[in-house]
Amino acid sequence: MKYTFESIAGIDEVKEEIMEIADFLVNPEKYRRFGAKIPKGVLLFGPPGTGKTMLAKALAYETDSGFIYASGSEFIEKFVGVG
């Protein structure tokens, strides 16, 4: 299913933050002119069913980026390169 920021209801404050990140990704020069550093990642956390995955999918769609889903339970080791 295709998610857009417009299709997500509620969580307006969080959605505004994610939309700002999307603008960083789509228009990086606009922010570099002012010396801003583009974020290298975003950590979404919270209880199940609060819209984290939906927001991530909308961010990927709105910025024409890929989306790879990975659940914490899929990881075998705690640290990268171990195991």
The string of DSSP codes covering 2-66 is ---STT--S-HHHHHHHHHHHHHHH-HHHHHTTTPPPPS------STTSSHHHHHHHHHHHTT--
In a domain, 57, yes or no: yes
Q: Considering only residues 39 and 61, tell me which one the structure prediction assigns the higher pLDDT.
A: 61
**Number of domains comprising the chain:** 1
Share of the chain above pLDDT 90, in %: 57
Q: Each residue of 2-42: pLDDT tens digit?
A: 899 999 998 899 999 999 999 999 999 998 898 988 777 88
- Determine, yes or no, domain membership for 2: no
Whether the model clears a pTM of 0.85, i.e. scores above it, the answer is no
- Tell me what pLDDT residue 58 has: 96
Q: Is the pLDDT of residue 83 over 60?
A: no
Provide the 3-class DSSP secondary structure of residue 74. Answer: helix
* In a domain? residue 81: no
